[in-house]
């Protein structure tokens, strides 16, 4: 009798788990049976709704794949971060043109990574035509076409190990272990795709200018387009409040010093291009992310769509930047600024109970956050590369001994 009671009590501990149809293993089994053209209730595990199975079943498959591969698909993470980013949603709801600019920039980077030279040149030309600032992306794109994504690091590990476990941010990071043939990777900078890129860029630019000339022939000429489009960007004529800092500064500065500070602010982006390119030439994709972040911080008329783009690219390097400091603090302040900025704008513009200083304080904080993001991400990437070199040197000494 006593043994029977103990057995019943033991089985009673299992009953709550067996009666819960929401457990992940039960949904996984039911979804597997459904994918096998069988009834999900054919087994003894799943007892939930078929609608719940349709919603949560694909998630269990993805989770199992990640557990077997042990590698986070950084491309999927970047896409999810961009698509579900509140900044992206706000830009689309506000009928902004920034998603179009983000699309052509992404198209240019994709073409450069895949060495699709006409596509890369087309994306770069259209992005530069629309907003001018993507012109600085020509440097990481040339590095991508000449070296390839993370090619110097692959060659370094190939020379050290022979077989390389590729955990880079490119599409090949989904493979756990890949034997890299030394003849397939360029040992030196390849100028041929770069020359083709410049040739295609000239051809696409001429074609775009021809179309613009035909379109503007009815009411003006190309010079008016340059003046109204690029001159408007460079001279900061519109001082409407935005999430940047230039509108407030040029609203307060004396007209006598305006041209001087225009040159200083617009050249400030160019001052950072060469040092970053020298230090991060082995990481052209990451260099493009840094350039986009800096330009979105210092451009004349920034928008939340610019932030959505570099946040999506940040997810591309989720593995390399996993040890970045202050990430939780940055995320919290970003959320706070995103909620506080529209409140300050509403109090100042619509209700008249605030002033410009309240809203400008949020813009200053937002700019400081982007500065910290650039510094910490670059530091984390360099530390990641430093650890790779240290591990490779340790392997060399171990092989020699």
**57 CB contacts (<8 Å, ≥6 apart)?**
27, 28, 30, 31, 34
Provide the pLDDT for residue 323.
Answer: 82
Name which residue leads in pLDDT, 42 or 102. Answer: 102
Give CA torsion, residues 96, 97, 98, 99, to 10 deg: 100
Q: Specify the pLDDT at position 24.
A: 58
Pick 94 or 171 by higher pLDDT: 94
Tens digit of pLDDT for each residue in 229-244? 898 999 988 888 889 8
Q: What value does the mean pLDDT take over residues 102-120?
A: 93
For 349-370, letters b (16+ CB in 10 Å) and e give eeeeebebebbbebbeebbebb
CA nearest neighbour of 150 among 202, 191, 186, 104:
186
pTM above 0.95, yes or no: no
Helix residue ranges per DSSP H, 148-283 = 151-161, 192-216, 222-235, 246-252, 258-271, 273-279
Could you tell me which residues are beta bridge partners of residue 164?
178
**pLDDT at residue 158 tops 60:** no
Q: Which two tokens stand for residue 281?
A: 């030439």
Q: Cα separation of 224 and 217, whole Å?
A: 11
The 10 Å Cβ neighbour count of residue 332 is 11
DSSP secondary structure of 102-147: HHHHHHHHHHHHTT-HHHHHHHHHHHHHHHSGGGGGHHHHHHHHHH
pLDDT digits (tens, 9 = 90+) for 254-271: 888 899 999 988 888 888
Residue 378 above 70 pLDDT? yes
| pLDDT computed for residue 352 by the predictor | 80
Are the CB atoms for 276 and 290 separated by under 8 Å? Answer: yes
- What is each CA distance from 192 to 92, 121, 181, in whole angstroms? 39, 14, 21
Confidence of residue 400 (pLDDT cuts 50, 70, 90): low
- Positive or negative, the CA dihedral 25, 27, 32, 37 is positive
Q: Where exactly are the structural domains of the chain?
A: 17-67, 71-390
What whole-number distance in Å separates Cα of residue 364 and Cα of residue 152?
38
Strand partners, 178: 164
- 19 and 45 Cβ atoms separated by less than 8 Å: no
Mapping DSSP to helix (H, G, I), strand (E, B) and coil, where does residue 164 land?
A: strand
Please answer whether residues 330 and 369 qualify as being in contact, where contact means their C-beta atoms are separated by less than 8 angstroms: yes
φ, ψ dihedrals at 164, nearest 5°: -115, 130
């Amino acid at each position: 009798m006593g043994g029977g009671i103990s057995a019943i009590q033991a089985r009673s501990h299992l009953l709550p788990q067996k009666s819960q149809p929401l457990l992940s293993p039960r949904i996984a089994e039911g979804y597997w049976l459904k994918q096998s053209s069988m009834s999900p209730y054919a087994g003894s595990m799943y007892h939930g709704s078929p609608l719940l199975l349709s919603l949560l079943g694909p998630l269990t498959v993805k989770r199992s794949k990640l557990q077997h591969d042990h590698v986070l698909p950084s491309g999927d993470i970047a896409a999810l971060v961009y698509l579900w980013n509140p900044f992206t949603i706000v830009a689309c709801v506000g009928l902004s043109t920034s998603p179009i600019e983000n699309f052509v920039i992404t198209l240019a980077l994709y073409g450069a990574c895949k060495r699709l030279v006409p596509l890369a040149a087309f994306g770069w030309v259209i992005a530069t035509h629309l907003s001018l600032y993507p012109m600085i992306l020509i440097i990481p794109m040339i590095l991508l076409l000449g070296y390839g994504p993370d090619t110097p690091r692959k060659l370094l590990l190939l020379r050290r190990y022979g077989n390389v476990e590729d955990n880079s941010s490119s599409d090949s990071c989904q493979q756990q272990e890949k034997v890299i043939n030394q003849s397939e990777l360029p040992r030196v900078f390849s100028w041929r795709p770069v020359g083709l890129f410049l040739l295609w860029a000239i051809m696409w630019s001429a074609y775009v200018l021809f179309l613009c000339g035909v379109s503007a022939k009815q009411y003006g000429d190309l010079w008016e387009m340059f003046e109204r489009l690029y001159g408007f960007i460079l001279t900061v004529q519109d001082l409407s409040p935005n999430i940047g800092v230039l509108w407030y500064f040029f609203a307060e500065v004396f007209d006598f010093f305006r041209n001087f500070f225009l040159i200083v602010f617009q050249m400030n982006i160019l001052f950072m291009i060469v040092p970053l390119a020298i230090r991060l030439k082995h990481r052209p994709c990451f260099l493009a992310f840094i350039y986009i972040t800096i330009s979105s911080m210092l451009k004349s008329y920034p928008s939340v769509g610019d932030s959505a783009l570099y946040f999506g690219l940040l997810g591309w390097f989720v593995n390399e930047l996993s040890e970045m400091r202050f990430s939780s603090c940055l995320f919290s302040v970003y959320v706070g600024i995103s909620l506080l900025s529209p409140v300050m704008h509403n109090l100042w513009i619509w209700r008249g109970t605030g002033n410009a200083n309240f809203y400008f304080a949020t813009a200053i904080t937002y700019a400081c956050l982007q500065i910290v993001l650039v510094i910490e991400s670059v530091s984390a990437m360099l530390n990641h590369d430093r650890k790779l070199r240290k591990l490779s040197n340790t392997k060399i000494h171990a092989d020699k001994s």
